[in-house]
Amino acid sequence: MAARSPSAKSAKANAQRGKPRAAAAATAGERSARSDAATAARESELASTVAAALATTLGAAGEAGPAASQSEESGPTEAPVESTTATGAAESSSLAADESAAPVAELPDAEVVPAPPPALRALVSNTASPHKATLVSTGAQPQAPSFGAQPSHPTRSAFPSDPIQTRRLMHRATKIVATIGPASSTPEILLQMIQAGADVVRLNFSHGPADDHRQRAEFVREAARQAGREVAIMADLQGPKIRVGKFENGKVTLTSGEPFILDADCGLGNQERAGLDYKDLPHDLKPGDVLLLNDGLIVLNVQRVIGNEIHTIVKIGGDLSNNKGINRQGGGLSAPALTAKDMEDIRAAMALGVDFVAVSFPKNATDMEMARQLANIAGAPYGIKPKMIAKIERAEAIPVLQGILDASDGIMVARGDLAVEVGNAAVPALQKRMIRMARESNKFVITATQMMESMIYAPVPTRAEVSDVANAVLDGTDAVMLSAESAAGKYPVQTIETMAAICVEAEKSEQSELDKDFLDRTFTRIDQSIAMGALFTAYHLGAKAIVALTESGSTALWMSRHWTHVPIFALTPRVGSERAMALYRNVTSLHLDTNTDRDTALQQALETVVSKGYASRGDMVVLTVGEPMGQAGGTNTLKIVRVGEPY
């Protein structure tokens, strides 16, 4: 038998002597807190996996705790802000199932409870009005009315059942765009996706007839009504995707070094040649050009162009099947951004009442201006002017990015086709540049493509995917997007839950640079000056929240361009504005009828925020409002109040 070392014996003896003292010191509340925290940690297996992977990629940011975050954010003036964030109380490493006492958070009634670890499901309170939205927070789910069958994606929650406590402890600033398709088109799954954290639903017009999109849009609106919050709908146009035609046997296998012809006049392709859906492609090419097929998996070198035939040599071979895409390395193809199909799809999208239109492959500002004109004309009978999103996926768009930003409401970093044209290695730096330029231009930005690709088939993401999502959050993106993961994957609800958890963890390590952001800045508009003043004041005074009464949502957009850890609540009487703000970073949009005098509206706004658990008595809140009420662009007043005190 191996002898115990003296140090081990001593440690055991000390532990035995310390037991009576520990037992005497531990109160019933402390024991309960430890028990609840340990139970909650065990119940959050997926959250633990995500947080562990994220901690590795972010330098264990999740283990640093609130104190570390405050010290990183330079000084005592910022500590109150950190302590007032909705997630601050949960920043301790609560996912580790140790036996230490859990941190505590203060409820409105001063009850002390253990702070829970980050959970996965989204908590959405049902309200009497379908337009009264609540913050998407992870936690235990209330029983929502069902369209029919019971939800097929149950998820255990690591959050307490108290919805007010849950919302105060959890606030996700980064929004989630989820594409719907065969795996997520049923009403039951759509409801679960919205409850899990989907803020915008994407309809991909590259697939499916208009009737399918119409039915899905109706399901989304009904699911949002049941969830008790507004969810925006995005119509994503197909654009001029250049593809090979179909093959006699469905596919061929190309061998390196062998010749292959792309023939605009070919019907069904074979081992020697393939047809083209874009007949003008031969006119855009010259000897020496490089063609990338099937997202760059197959590479062809152009030898010569004879009439409508493009003669190539296979550089990198592989299987080539029907309708695979074609890109020219470096870009430069002349296909227009808006095809005849896109124009028809814009009309169909306006009839559906979509909130955003994403334009594929724009080359310049003119493409976006044309798309906006078409959308505004088509939407006029329905009273709709959608926000326009430019998908940056052409090499030609990079040099004129500022012009495209000026002509758009936001951009999408569409990393798939962009990587094929500019090369994979160039995309990460371009992503950071595009996000920075969009924020500086007061535009929103979505980061997309293969963010959680492995979850099409697997219930958990890879650590590289966790890092990818987290880095996009740290870059400052407004939203991260799911494509096939939610449209055709096996785990659409779990994917959204996991992505939401990653976003929350990444946001904890973000540092505010508000003072730096305001250096050498000039604000020429009154409403923008008020918005920036509210942001600066809330940040330095450690306010619990910013509450903005807004008509168009511009005030909330300006505030959301700067990160402060202070949540922004935008209250508006316009449903269209409420849905548009669903994409703005760190903004929670709520419905409020402002057809009253200013003081009454401010009081109602404060009551709304308090009743939903976002603030409690004694909290400092910064309010912005405009007079006269009901005019877009009229914000001209800033007030600092404490909840429960007269003002």
Where does the pLDDT of residue 90 fall: very low under 50, low under 70, confident under 90, or very high at 90 and above?
very low
Which of 56, 44, 45, 182 minimizes the C-alpha distance to 116? 44
**Same domain, residue pair 261 and 393:** no
CATH of the domain at 504: 3.20.20.60
Q: Which residue among 34, 243, 385, 463 is the active-site one?
A: 243
Assess whether pLDDT exceeds 80 at residue 255.
yes
577, part of any domain: yes
| Final residue belonging to a domain, choices 508, 540, 556 | 508
Where does the pLDDT of residue 86 fall: very low under 50, low under 70, confident under 90, or very high at 90 and above?
very low
**Same domain, residue pair 60 and 102:** yes
| Final residue belonging to a domain, choices 90, 114, 138 | 114
**Same domain, residue pair 574 and 439:** no
**Same domain, residue pair 233 and 90:** no
Higher pLDDT, 206 or 93: 206
The answer, as to whether pTM is greater than 0.85, is no
What secondary structure letter does DSSP report for 172?
Answer: -
CATH of the domain at 620: 3.40.1380.20
Yes or no: say if 619 and 643 are a contact pair by the CB < 8 Å rule: yes
Amino acid at 451: M
Assess whether pLDDT exceeds 90 at residue 47.
no
566, part of any domain: yes
Question: Which CA distances in Å does 610 have to 128, 228, 545, 605?
Answer: 17, 17, 11, 9
Where does the pLDDT of residue 499 fall: very low under 50, low under 70, confident under 90, or very high at 90 and above?
very high
Average pLDDT over residues 249-255: 93
Phi-psi region of 361 (alpha: psi -120 to 50; beta: other; left: phi over 0): left
**Same domain, residue pair 282 and 222:** no
Q: Which residue among 202, 216, 328, 439 is the active-site one?
A: 202
Q: Which residue among 134, 449, 550, 608 is the active-site one?
A: 449
**Same domain, residue pair 349 and 364:** yes
51, part of any domain: yes
Average pLDDT over residues 159-181: 67
Cα separation of 392 and 192, whole Å? 31
647, part of any domain: no
pLDDT for 528: 86
Where does the pLDDT of residue 157 fall: very low under 50, low under 70, confident under 90, or very high at 90 and above?
very low
pLDDT for 379: 96
Sheet holding 620-626, edge to edge: 587-591, 568-572, 545-549, 620-626, 635-642
**Same domain, residue pair 363 and 475:** yes
The tens digit of pLDDT for each residue in 342-401 reads 999 999 999 999 999 999 999 999 999 999 999 999 999 999 999 999 999 999 999 999
Give the residue carrying structure tokens 């601050």.
88
3, part of any domain: no
E runs forming strands in 276-339: 290-293, 298-306, 309-316, 318-321, 326-328
Question: Which CA distances in Å does 123 have to 172, 191, 192?
Answer: 12, 12, 10
Assess whether pLDDT exceeds 80 at residue 35.
no
Least confident range of 133-147, 385-399, 446-460:
133-147
| Final residue belonging to a domain, choices 308, 326, 344 | 326
pLDDT for 594: 64
Average pLDDT over residues 234-241: 92
Assess whether pLDDT exceeds 90 at residue 214.
yes
pLDDT for 29: 43
Helices (H), 234-297: 281-284
Q: Please state, rounded to an integer, the average pLDDT across all residues of the chain.
A: 78
Percent of the chain with pLDDT over 70: 72
- Helix, strand and coil content of the chain, in percent to the nearest 5, comes to 40, 20, 40
The tens digit of pLDDT for each residue in 573-605 reads 999 999 999 999 999 999 887 666 778 888 888
Average pLDDT over residues 28-56: 47
Containing structural domain, residue 344: 122-240+336-508
**Same domain, residue pair 436 and 525:** no
571, part of any domain: yes
pLDDT for 78: 36
Yes or no: say if 415 and 427 are a contact pair by the CB < 8 Å rule: yes
Helix axes 45-57, 28-43, angle to 10 degrees: 80
pLDDT for 105: 34
Phi-psi region of 21 (alpha: psi -120 to 50; beta: other; left: phi over 0): alpha
Assess whether pLDDT exceeds 70 at residue 313.
yes
**Same domain, residue pair 429 and 570:** no
What is the secondary structure of 394-406 as a DSSP string? SGGGTTTHHHHHH
Q: Which residue among 167, 221, 391, 612 is the active-site one?
A: 391
Yes or no: say if 482 and 177 are a contact pair by the CB < 8 Å rule: yes
Is residue 391 part of the annotated active site? The answer reads yes
* Distance linking the first and last C-alpha atoms of the chain: 76
Secondary structure of residue 515 in the 3-state scheme: helix
Domain count, the chain: 4
Average pLDDT over residues 192-196: 97
Where does the pLDDT of residue 188 fall: very low under 50, low under 70, confident under 90, or very high at 90 and above?
very high
**Same domain, residue pair 402 and 355:** yes
pLDDT for 630: 66
Average pLDDT over residues 165-172: 55
Is residue 243 part of the annotated active site? The answer reads yes
Where does the pLDDT of residue 153 fall: very low under 50, low under 70, confident under 90, or very high at 90 and above?
very low
331, part of any domain: no
pLDDT for 23: 42
Where does the pLDDT of residue 113 fall: very low under 50, low under 70, confident under 90, or very high at 90 and above?
very low
**Same domain, residue pair 102 and 22:** yes
pLDDT for 307: 93
pLDDT for 167: 43
The tens digit of pLDDT for each residue in 509-567 reads 888 777 777 767 777 788 888 989 999 899 889 899 999 999 889 999 999 999 888 99
CATH of the domain at 286: 2.40.33.10
**Same domain, residue pair 503 and 557:** no
2, part of any domain: no
pLDDT for 611: 84
pLDDT for 617: 87
Yes or no: say if 138 and 129 are a contact pair by the CB < 8 Å rule: no
Percent of the chain with pLDDT over 90: 55
Where does the pLDDT of residue 623 fall: very low under 50, low under 70, confident under 90, or very high at 90 and above?
very high
CA 341 to chain centre: 28
Yes or no: say if 536 and 54 are a contact pair by the CB < 8 Å rule: no
